[in-house]
Amino acid sequence: MTGSRKLYVKSFGCQMNVYDSQRMADTLAPEGYVETGNAGDADLIILNTCHIREKAAEKVYSEIGRMRRLKEAAAAAGRNVRIAVAGCVAQAEGDEIIRRSPAVDLVVGSQNYHRLPDLLARVARDGKAVDTEFPVNDKFDRLAAPSPAATRARGVSAFVTVQEGCDKFCTFCVVPYTRGAEISRPVDKIVAELSRLADAGVREVTLIGQNVNAYHGVGTDGRTWSLAQLLERLARLSGIERLRYTTSHPRDMTDDLIAAHRDLPALMPQLHLPIQSGCDRILAAMNRRHTRADYLAVVARLRDARPDLALTSDFIVGFPGETEDDFAETLRLVDEVGFSGAFSFKYSPRPGTPGAEMDDQIDEAVKSDRLIRLQQAIDRSQANFNRKCVGRTISVLFERPGRHRGQIVGRSPYLQPVQVEAPASLVGQIAAVTITEVASNSLFGALAKALAREPAFAGTGA
Ligand code: SF4
């Protein structure tokens, strides 16, 4: 171990990138790197990029410009700062980043950040390093585990990547190109990671993957296990009281996974299940490989298994060729399903995807208008779902102090933030809360004496 150096990691994009950033910090900790929240103090700056949102690459180049100025100021003061670009934009752009931005020392793709110590050594020797290969099943085995103190500092809810990549090739999406084919971590590695988290005080774990319900890892018996089998095993770990998983594809909602929502009390009654459009013609153009009816059938079976299930989704408006009638079908679907929330975006072409080559691109003004109407429908649906919680007593996992003195904030089983006047000593614990009021995005409640029969299980599972 060398002397202490400061590491600043900036994450763009989804929860998977936040998890990756934490694991990069864990991997660099044995090299003497200590995390800082101030880029101006850092000896190593890592920009962990995401390619999903519009103009992702442009945003990364402008952030590199900002970091270059910090690097120049440090150099003038006699301090050597390295800049690394990681994640999906790094994967997609590779050498081009160093060509366009000479201030960048290192480019590392989303599958290779376990090699950061070696790559930094290569930078020290050769001046620059680029690594955007796709090694198979390599990264997770070689990543350093976080210390118990680092885990505790990250809170009582943790994210754990169990699956990466995607084989679906939706025509709007870059993930299959930037993250590669689906790979799943072996069950024993995931069990070991959750056990470590439980020992450090983590109570809730969200299993993450670009297509998490396509999970097919090697089980403890040497056979391939499904996500349902993995969840059943993890639900038996002592200390982990809540499990969730995201993000799922409707086609991979298998019978055993739907049954897990009935049978596993630790599996929270909340599911993020993207549909993207309510119109079959658009779903086909998106290569989603499911219809509106398929989606509604899955929802019906899930609600049969777990009647109080909170469903969220993703929508894209203005996909090439989308007519006003097609869009109206999306609005109808939102009303029909009754989502507890959803993310919605205007379609924007991603270079290299089939959608970007389609002729009938939609006018920006039309997309904006549809997005506003869709978000109004989603807001109505969310408010309706939240209103139904008033008067109920539900379990809340308290995560942190609130903004006001005497207030703490936690999450309901349905993932809503819940604010309660209660002692800070409850942070890290689960308590029963009676919901008294709702605002647009959060619930307010009071500690209850006991948890009423909150989990409305339809089945007879454990
Ligand atoms: S299933 Fe999800 S990650 Fe895979 S291509 Fe489609 S949108 Fe992208």
For the Cβ of 60 lying below 6 angstroms from any atom of ligand 1, the answer is no
The vertex-101 CA angle with 106 and 6, nearest 5°, equals 45
Which residues lie closer than 8 Å to 365 by C-beta, 6 or more apart? none
Q: Is the CB of 350 under 6 A from ligand 1?
A: no
Are the CB atoms for 226 and 254 separated by under 8 Å? Answer: yes
Which residue's CA lies nearest to atom 8 of ligand 1?
173
Q: pLDDT tens digits for 222-233?
A: 999 999 999 999
Rounded to 10 deg, the angle between the 364-387 and 324-337 helix axes is 10
Q: For residue 22, which amino acid is it?
A: Q
Residue in this structure with the two tokens 């059943």, named with its chain if needed: 232
CB of 248 closer than 6 angstroms to any ligand 1 atom: no
- Model confidence over 71-129: pLDDT tens digits? 999 999 999 999 999 988 888 788 889 899 999 999 998 778 888 999 999 999 988 88
Answer yes or no: are the C-beta atoms of 163 and 209 closer than 8 Å: yes
Per residue in 8-18, pLDDT (tens digit) is 999 887 777 88
Nearest alpha-carbon partner for 143 in 176, 190, 98: 190
pLDDT score of 55 more than 80: no
* Residue 452 confidence (pLDDT) above 60: no
Looking at the CA of residue 179, tell me the nearest atom of ligand 1. Answer: 3
Mutate to test the pocket of ligand 1, among 210, 213, 319, 347 (most ligand atoms within 8 A of CB): 210
Whole-angstrom CA distances from 437 to 26, 263, 374 are 41, 31, 25
- CA–centroid distance, residue 397 to ligand 1 (Å): 31
Ligand 1, atom nearest to 167 Cα: 4
Which residues, including other chains, have CB under 8 Å from residue 438's CB and lie 6 or more apart?
Answer: 383, 386, 387, 389, 390, 444
Round to whole Å and give the CA distance between 218 and 222: 6
Do 411 and 380 form a contact (C-beta atoms < 8 A)?
Answer: no
pLDDT for 330-384, tens place per residue? 999 999 999 999 999 999 988 889 999 999 999 999 999 999 999 999 999 999 9
Q: Check whether 458 has a pLDDT greater than 50.
A: no
- Does residue 166's CB lie within 6 angstroms of at least one atom of ligand 1? yes
The answer, yes or no, to whether residue 269 has pLDDT greater than 60, is yes
- CA-derived radius of gyration, the chain: 23
Residue nearest to atom 1 of ligand 1 (CA): 168
pLDDT band at 412 (very low <50, low <70, confident <90, very high): very high
pLDDT, tens digit, 9 for 90 and up, residues 69-80: 999 999 999 999
- What is the distance between the alpha carbons of residues 252 and 274, in angstroms, rounded to a whole number? 12
Give CA–CA dist 219/232, Å, rounded: 12
Average pLDDT for 269-273? 97
DSSP-assigned letters across all residues of 112-123:
-GGGHHHHHHHH
The verdict on the CB of residue 210 being under 6 Å from ligand 1 is yes
> What's the mean per-residue pLDDT of the chain?
90
3-state helix, strand, coil in the chain (%, to 5): 40, 20, 40
Highest averaged pLDDT of the listed ranges 25-29, 201-205, 401-405:
201-205
Q: How far is the CA of 164 from the centre of ligand 1 (A)?
A: 11
